Structure 1
Amino acid sequence: MTRSYIPLNALRAFEAAARHLSFTHAAIELNVTHSAISQQVKALEAHLNCQLFARVSRGLMLTTEGENLLPVLNDSFDRIADTLDRFAASQRREKLKIGVVGTFATGFLLSRLDSFRRRFSHIDLHLSTHNNRVDPAAEGLDYTIRFGSGAWHGTEAIFLCDAPLSPLCSPLLAGELQYPADVLKFTLLRSYRRDEWNAWLQAAGERAPSPTHPVMVFDSSITMLEAAQAGAGIAIAPPGMFTHLLNTERIVQPFSTQISLGGYWLTRLQSRQETVAMRDFAAWIATQTREAQGD
């Protein structure tokens, strides 16, 4: 069977134009003319039999096909560059891109990164944080650490650890909490998951808050705990991820009742081919969480 090959220049022209959403800026970056970029993109569109850009009044906009192609090219070009860099340096180096939900990053991962670096000095770790809503394909992530049930479409997930939730607040507010129902005297701080406080109060044998009860919603538990320290209300979050605050008594856990609505998972898109560096990281983080739970 005869295979049809796409010229690398056409792919590079599209990738640069898609990043800049401008043929002019792409031409400057690649040191060619505006016309050359336009012709390369048209040739690629003809080869793929689809339109990659829509021309709008403000310039360019990616079509659905263009949005699907861009992260694939970004990943491919990154891997080519990484391989060439390793050849140039005459040493085996690998890059690993991990997206981590912020709470797990600050509460668990960051304090252990030196251990990873010492053991796997040949791996360049690139970390980004997210608020549990992330697009691994668009961001070119090898692994994503998320909170949830472990069920994400098109994804393989490895369970890392449970993350039970409990009220956390400032010592000043804790002094006014004698019974679980007393949390309803204050503003309730929570994530975008609506069921957290209802589930905890039910587990504590208390009624759910009224629909009009004052609530503050946060997209990050880290920010939520900053608000709790300032006395803005009572937060519900995983105490195990905030031991640094509990140990210094900037935050206290007024009640022992905890609920489990999910855990932390190491996830990989099924379309993402696993590398040696990825397997090394997966084994390392699994060992770290297992040992921490043992402690």
Structure 2
Amino acid sequence: MNIVMLGHSQAGKTTYMALMYGTLNSGSYGFEVLCQDRAQHKHLLRAAQAVLRGDYPPPTDHRQVYDLKLRHGLSDLVDFRWRDHRGGALTERSTSQQSADLRRDLLAADALVVFVDAYELIATPRGARKVRTLMAPITAALADRTTFVPLVISLTKCDLLGEDHDTGRLNSAFDPLINAVRQSPYVYGTIVELACGPRPRNIVGPVLFCLYWAIAKRAEELDNEIESAMQQAAMYQAQNHLMGRWLAAWRGEPHPGHSAAEMLGRAQAQYAQLEPLIEPGQKLEELLDELPVF
């Protein structure tokens, strides 16, 4: 699964990545995220510990790629690649290699996580202009989608707004994108308010929202395969009588009883893949139940 993370410089992407990894690498909520690269693993954990002390990492000055794995208990659930684009790629000329990489990643993404500085959005006119600039390439990339993609709008620095901030005013900045998503059968979105600092809040929401859909899609595929195998097994078993076996032998076809057993074995093997997804899928539904969706 390819997850693309983007947002303007200073939106908090690098800080979020460190906190997300630090939180889920410790096995929070029964889930664990593991980095395939040992050097990146150590770097992310050090950065997460620094953020919890109030020491924030510098903005990303180049495109980062992390190869990660989601586990639940002893089960490997999803391998995913997390791509973090530096903020400048959103505003550079179309000939920029970073911009070209961004366009390609947006078109190929299995999930999108968009970061917006909520405090800047509310406090300054410049924040609203930056949001409009940010939404343009995303809306263009989503317009021609013919495959499913989850979208997360991650509002950072919400702890700076105070507990009684106007959520409606904050979310209204994304109305054009939200309306476009609601018109599409291929995009499913949410908005998550984040605090990425010494007192983090909602850190696991964006990544688990994306990964939930990957797990649900795989579970649905396996369920359909099991149903198909069971139907074929029943069909072969219905032919497993004297005349049916004779006709199969005359046509040079396999023994219907053997074919039925093969289909049952296939269904059992597919269920063995499905079973480890059921409990974590249900747990993710509970964790994400309060997120607004559009």
**Same fold by TM-score greater than 0.5:** no
Structure with greater proportional helix content: 2
Scaled by the length of structure 1, the TM-score of the pair is 0.23
